[in-house]
A and B are shown apart, each in its own frame.
Chain A
Amino acid sequence: MSWKNAFNSSVGKKIQMSLTGLFLILFLLVHCYVNAMIFYNDGGEKFTEAAHFMGTNIVIRITEIGLFAFLILHIVQGLRLWMQNRKRRNTRYAVSAGNATSKWYSRSMGILGTLILLFLILHIQAFWAPNRFSQTTGNGELDLYGMMRDAFQNIVVVVIYIFGCISLAWHLVHGFFSAFQTLGLAMNKYKGIIKSVGVAFSIIIPLIFALMPLAFYLHWIQ
């Protein structure tokens, strides 16, 4: 058995999806914690301090490279799985079982992931990319808090962000449990707890994220 085989085999691909997915879940937790600092409503003081740490600490910066590598692996293998699996049934069923045997979001991971990807492209080019560009070209960090406040005055931007959060929530309702199942940890004994924690996570984290643009738009925070 070669590593190449493990990389390309069906179960090997699943394991990569699972490990990268879990890492992305951890990232979400940290990202959500840092950004939630805006809710102090202190003109962005606490948030800017935390963002400065995240943007300059060497350990975080190295982890960030890993994060991008994992995100790309997750996307590449996810899209490969999606494309390949579609070809495994040449003639479609005339009548489909639909929701009688499975959940719509479990069947839609590829589409949900693609929606997240489109959102991420917009999101990264709005905040992360200009900030890092400014840092590396010697112009220092940008005022991310001010950028958020300005960007989220536009209702279209707010709607796009809320839509992105909803896609993420459904992706996670399946993904959270699925990741443990893939690693072989979802034995019947733990199934209930993994599912419950998964659903709670999938609601709470995207909800907090969605409240951020909304809070700026509705001037809950200045």
Chain B
Amino acid sequence: MEHYNMNLTLKVWKQKNTNEKGRFETYHVKDISSEMSFLEMFDVLNEQLIAEGKEPVAFDHDCREGICGMCSMVINGRAHGKWEQTTTCQLHMRAFKDGETIVVEPWRASAFPVIKDLVVDRQSFDRIIQAGGYVSVNTGNAVDANAIPIEKHMADEAFASAACIGCGACVAACPNASAMLFLSAKVSHLAMLPQGSPERKERVMNMVNQMDKEGFGSCTNIGACEAECPKGISIENIARLNREYLGAMFDGGSKNAI
């Protein structure tokens, strides 16, 4: 890949705090290498702003290797930018041309209020997990990991669902701001494993109820989530979640559900 430098105009969402109204601020950055990641480009911008005595742009990031899910940015209308199955930290500047104007916005959903600039509060996801995204394990000696036999293809499918990093791009991309892809990945992951079966019925009910309580929208099978998910989580998981829900709805086993 040929290396090149570029000058860019950035229109970045600036918002002081949750209550204040936000607005776009325009910045210019020069000599950005095509080999930088998108976040490195933001580092350059922030260094520049600090040198100028201005306030840097607040944005979330942690691992910078595509596994933590923190780097929430909507870039030119696309969650994590236009590259498929890529997080913002893995998006490279070679995806852009010299002279381009890039619009950067936070995840926008009522259930993800903006904390500052591009940083949003995703604790609603944590509360969905707390409502049922776990398995209960008795204390005592650690059980051998291979004590319970699991069919290979089930293990593989559960693993594919478990690949969800909880980034929230699905919510950001969904016209309804629904969290169904995230929820369905978590429910599927545990529903396909024997360890998840004791709490299976309550899990799906409680997690769906928590999702509704948090103010996410309802799924209408639009499919934008799947198109933007950095981990390639399929909407097949949503079909499975719906089956789990139907099963729990018609079964007495869901009594423990709130």
Contact = CB atoms under 8 A, between A and B. Distances in A.
Contact of B218 (A13, A183, A184): A13
Interface stretch (A84-92, A131-139, A157-165): A84-92
Contacts of A14: 218-220, 242
Question: Looking at chain B, what size class is its interface with the partner chain?
Answer: 35 or more
Interface stretch (B52-60, B75-83, B91-99, B146-154): B75-83
Given A102-B223, A181-B239, A182-B221, A15 B246 contact: yes
Nearest to A8: B212
B224 A97 contact: yes
Interface string B208-226: 1101100111111111100
A32 interface: no
A106 B77 contact: no
B248 interface: yes
A102 B211 CA distance: 23
B178 to A, nearest CB: 7
Given A81-B218, A95-B77, A90 B110 contact: yes
B175 A85 contact: yes
B216 A88 contact: yes
A95 B105 contact: yes
B217 A84 contact: yes
Contacts of B180: 10
Contacts of B208: 9-11
A85 B217 contact: yes
A101 B228 contact: yes
Interface string B104-120: 01001111000000000
B128 interface: no
Contacts of B224: 97, 101-102
A130 B216 CA distance: 44
A177 B223 CA distance: 12
A1 B221 contact: no
Contacts of A167: none
